[in-house]
Amino acid sequence: MHLTVNEKEENQTAPVAFILLDFNNDDLQMLFSIMFLTIYIVTMAGNILIIILVVTDQHLHTPMYFFLGNLSCLETCYSSTIMPRMLVSFLTGDRTISIKGCFTQLYFFGSLAAAECYLLAVMSYDRYLAICKPLHYTILMNDRICILLIVGPWIIACLVMSPIIFFMSQLNFCGPNKINHFFCDFTPMVRLSCNETDLIETTTFILSSIGTLAPFVITVSSYVYIIRNILRIPSTTGKQKAFSTCSSHLTVVACFYGSLMIVYVLPNMSSLSDLKKFFSLFYTLLTPLVNPLVYSLRNKEVKEAIKKPCKMLQRHYY
């Protein structure tokens, strides 16, 4: 009898901080530190380069590149919600994160992820208009609509994420405080709570569907129309030209949504948690890395924009 009372008391001591069990591997700590630090530096450098090119190069002053530049802004923030905290864990071995810190990370990560989904959808809608409605493109994608399409994703993202965080802040945490993940994600956090979580899980499911499923449907339907339209072009070169303007974006979209689906659509089984952790790396860390890389390696106009300062330097020196 006494034992149970003691146990109960022990269970009710609320934790003051959470512990992030990232990859649970002390031997590989050094390797992970170097690998993730490299990814972070390349991600930041690549995205900042894209932002500089889009802002400074006159040839890139079109809606498509404005969206790309704004996506790069978003991705530098997105990457910074997870990476620095993770690197500190690897470098110092200190894996604790305050509960407030955890909520803050979840809020910014969640809203930036939703904003990213919507911005990717906006970019595919832009490609849809350019390829399927070329004659009306300049009217349909005017400055005002362009700004609306850039600001919209941020507003929707905040509207989706705020109620989730509000409901989560009502939860009590009492006892277990180990998060089996490398950042404070929704499911691992809710699992530590000692409240009934059905209602909050349903609410979150609905809200995150608005945040991710809606833009996914927009993206997929844009691409269905784009591909149907490209297949109708008679010449092979015409087909290639039309496809080349959207293939970079399609690569980024596939990487982002593919991994997002694996993580959130697979059932919540503990046997799958390592697999999910691995695929979480794709949408949290690799998408922001891949985006500037595919655009600078595959996109002709961005390549030209990168070459220009190099040529200017050459002329200056020789």
Ligand X SMILES: *[C@@H]1O[C@H](CO)[C@@H](O)[C@H](O)[C@H]1NC(C)=O
Distance in angstroms (rounded) separating the CA atoms of residues 86 and 95: 8
Residue 55 touches ligand X, criterion: CB under 6 A: yes
Phi/psi of residue 34, each to 5°? -65, -45
Distance in angstroms (rounded) separating the CA atoms of residues 69 and 291: 11
> What 8-state DSSP symbol labels residue 285?
I
Task: State the DSSP H helix or E strand holding residue 245, giving kind and residue range, or none if neither.
Answer: helix 236-265
Residue 51 touches ligand X, criterion: CB under 6 A: yes
Alpha helix segments (H runs only) across 57-142? 63-92, 99-132, 137-140
Residue 74 touches ligand X, criterion: CB under 6 A: no
Select from 27-35, 39-47, 67-75, 127-135 the region that touches ligand X (CB under 6 A). Answer: 67-75
3-class DSSP state of 96: strand
Closest CB 54 distance from ligand X, rounded Å = 4
Select from 26-34, 48-56, 109-117, 133-141 the region that touches ligand X (CB under 6 A). Answer: 48-56
Closest CB 260 distance from ligand X, rounded Å = 24
> Tokens 């390549």 map to which residue?
303
- The count of residues interacting with ligand X (CB under 6 A) is 10
- Tokens coding 304: 């030209």
Site for ligand X in 132-171 (CB under 6 A): 146-147, 150
Residue 275 touches ligand X, criterion: CB under 6 A: no
Residue 66 touches ligand X, criterion: CB under 6 A: yes
3-class DSSP state of 20: strand
Distance in angstroms (rounded) separating the CA atoms of residues 205 and 186: 11
Q: Which residue of this chain has its Cβ atom nearest to ligand X in the complex?
A: 69
Q: Which is nearer to ligand X, 126 or 185 (CB)?
A: 126
Using CB under 6 A, pick the residue from 46, 69, 188, 288 that binds ligand X.
Answer: 69
Strands 96-98 vs 17-20: parallel, antiparallel or unpaired: antiparallel
Residue 73 touches ligand X, criterion: CB under 6 A: yes
Closest CB 183 distance from ligand X, rounded Å = 26
Report the interface residues with ligand X, using CB under 6 A.
51, 54-55, 66, 69-70, 73, 146-147, 150
